[in-house]
């Protein structure tokens, strides 16, 4: 696992080129330093290791082109991003190329394929011309969201390239974190294809590749579903719905919550696709709004999982956007891809008369948006390590219950604030901390107080819904993330 979860063809921006950065060939160092100082990006290459990142760029001149590589410590990376969308570059491409490129975009939209571009066309636009030759091709990165439609798309793409032989359309299909040349994939239906990732090159049958893609898509969505289920099945949970009672809620019970969870499966699959596409926050938000609409229709207006739709949606999209990596990298990805849009959404939301906004205006306590804008720092640095330590020594039931208690002790739970105000939140947090200090919940004395805590919150109509959402988030993050 690389320290930073880069994928092939990603654009990498550097902080500086110092003496520990090695340029090959060495005589191009001055040009490379000028390139970096201008703020331009490099392409990541497969030669990266756990100690060094390897990036490169192709320098074009009137007579030739030369590939230049740079080997540098990982701390020299400033940021990284996916290659640009073809649709964004068409207006800047040569006029004679644009008819074919427009047709490719139309075809891709019909078959649910996202088209990104790398190589000479991107360099041409970076430098304002002079990089393309009569024999230059367009390197595309095809990201399918509907594997069953991929073959039809490729057949139509091949027909297009026969009708428009120039420019030549080369490139690869991305299946999660592995890439295969699209022409090889199309023509080797019964033969192995050469599949590349950042850390491996292997031969894989087409059917195996598609099966792996479908299984991983389902697995990522299932992790989110199971995390909500595991939270629901805990008992007691102070003030929260469980299989044994309604907690502090009169409008919902466990069967209703279970139906809501099952209804979210389609939303989670959608977020896997949007994450792999590295789609805009607007697309994520539209999917969340539709999931919320379906939830309210199913529950006849009862808000069962609005918070989970937000938190789990961001988590799932961030995980699907990159190779398997650490919890820190997964949650940092949320800010890398959607941080600016989240900040703008926060400002807009603060002008609307929602429960969260009323709580924020009255008590100035951080809510779900602020948690996301922190990169879920508390979850990554505190809650997840706490849960992992507990599950290493206790049955999962107690580990999950104790982690809920830990969250209740530290999270500024807007649901409690809404129902009971600051005094209620302070009392809940104080009792949760006291319980944590008494020992393990498996101890009969602690368990009795934990049960008593539940009944006291029910009597006061208090429910730590924000903590419950973050428990599900923590359980899912634990399944998605590798240890550093």
Pairing mode, strands 137-144 and 168-175: parallel
Distance CA 24, CA 31 (A): 12
Beta bridge partners of 171: 140
Burial of 190 (0-12, 13-18, 19+ CB in 10 A): exposed
Q: Are 420 and 368 in contact (CB under 8 A)?
A: no
Residues of the chain where predicted confidence (pLDDT) is lower than 70: 62, 353-357, 484
Distance CA 478, CA 327 (A): 8
Instruction: Give the 3-state secondary structure of residue 245.
Output: coil
pLDDT attached to residue 191? 84
pLDDT attached to residue 123? 84
Q: Which residue has the tokens 């995390």?
A: 227
Beta bridge partners of 472: none
Distance CA 56, CA 42 (A): 6
Q: In the sheet where 178-181 sits, what is the strand order? A: 113-118, 137-144, 168-175, 178-181, 192-196, 201-205
Q: Are 325 and 5 in contact (CB under 8 A)?
A: yes
Beta bridge partners of 178: 175
- How many whole angstroms from its chain centre is CA 318? 1
Q: Which residue has the tokens 């595309």?
A: 140
Whether domain 214-480 has CATH 1.20.1630: the reply is no
Beta bridge partners of 26: none
Q: Considering only CA atoms, which of 107, 90, 106 is closest in space to residue 98?
A: 90
Instruction: Give the 3-state secondary structure of residue 11.
Output: strand
Q: Which two tokens stand for residue 311?
A: 């938190």
- For the residues of 322-363, what is the DSSP string, one character each? SSS-BHHHHHHHHHHHHHHHHHHHHHHHTTS--HHHHHHHHH
Q: Supply the Cα-derived Rg of the chain in whole angstroms.
A: 25
pLDDT attached to residue 356? 65
Distance CA 130, CA 82 (A): 24
Domain segments of the chain: what residues?
11-81, 86-199, 214-480
Burial of 200 (0-12, 13-18, 19+ CB in 10 A): exposed
Q: Which secondary-structure segment (H or E) carries 73? A: strand 65-73
Q: Considering only CA atoms, which of 171, 148, 145 is closest in space to residue 317?
A: 145
Give the CA distances from residue 484 to residues 219, 326, 448, in Å, rounded to whole numbers and listed in that order.
Answer: 22, 6, 37
């Amino acid at each position: 696992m690389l320290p930073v979860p880069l994928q092939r063809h990603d654009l990498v921006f550097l902080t500086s080129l110092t003496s520990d950065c090695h340029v090959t060939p060495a005589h191009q160092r001055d040009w490379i330093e000028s390139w970096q100082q201008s703020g331009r990006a490099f392409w990541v290459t497969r030669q990266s290791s756990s100690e060094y990142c390897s990036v490169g760029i192709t320098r074009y001149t009137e007579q030739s082109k030369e590939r230049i590589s740079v080997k540098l410590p990982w701390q020299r990376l400033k940021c990284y991003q996916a290659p640009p969308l073809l649709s964004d570059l068409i207006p800047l491409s040569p006029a004679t190329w644009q008819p074919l490129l427009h047709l490719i975009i139309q075809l891709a939209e019909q078959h649910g394929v996202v088209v990104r571009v790398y190589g000479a066309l991107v360099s041409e636009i970076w430098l304002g011309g002079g990089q393309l030759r009569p024999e230059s091709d367009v390197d595309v990165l095809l990201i399918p969201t509907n594997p069953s439609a991929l073959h039809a798309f490729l057949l139509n793409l091949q027909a297009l390239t026969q009708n428009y032989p120039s420019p030549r359309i080369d490139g690869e299909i991305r299946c999660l974190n592995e890439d295969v040349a699209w022409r090889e994939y199309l023509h080797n239906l019964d033969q192995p294809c050469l599949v590349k990732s950042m850390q491996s090159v292997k031969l894989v049958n087409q059917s195996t590749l598609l099966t792996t893609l479908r299984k991983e898509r389902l697995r990522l969505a299932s992790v989110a579903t199971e995390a909500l289920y595991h939270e629901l099945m805990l008992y007691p949970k102070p003030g929260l719905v469980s299989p044994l009672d309604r907690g502090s809620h009169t409008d919902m019970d466990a069967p209703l919550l279970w139906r809501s969870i099952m209804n979210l499966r389609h939303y989670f699959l959608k977020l896997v696709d949007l994450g792999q596409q590295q789609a805009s926050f607007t697309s994520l938000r539209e999917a969340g709004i539709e999931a919320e609409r379906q939830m309210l229709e199913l529950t006849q207006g009862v808000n069962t999982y609005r918070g989970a739709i937000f938190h789990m949606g961001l988590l799932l999209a961030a995980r699907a956007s990159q190779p398997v990596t650490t919890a820190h990298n997964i949650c940092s990805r949320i800010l890398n891809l959607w941080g600016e849009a989240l900040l703008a959404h926060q400002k807009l939301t603060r002008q609307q008369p929602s429960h969260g906004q009323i709580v924020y205006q009255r008590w100035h306590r951080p809510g779900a948006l602020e948690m996301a804008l922190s990169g879920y720092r508390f979850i990554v640095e505190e809650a997840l390590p706490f849960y992992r330590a507990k599950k290493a020594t206790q049955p999962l039931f107690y580990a999950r219950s104790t982690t809920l208690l830990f969250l209740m002790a530290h999270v500024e739970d807007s649901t409690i604030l809404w129902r009971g105000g600051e005094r209620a939140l302070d009392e809940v947090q104080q009792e949760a901390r006291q319980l944590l200090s008494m020992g393990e919940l498996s101890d009969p004395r602690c368990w009795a107080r934990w049960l008593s805590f539940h009944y006291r919150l029910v009597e006061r109509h208090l429910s730590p819904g924000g903590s419950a959402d973050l428990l599900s988030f923590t359980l899912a993050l634990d399944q998605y993330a590798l240890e550093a």
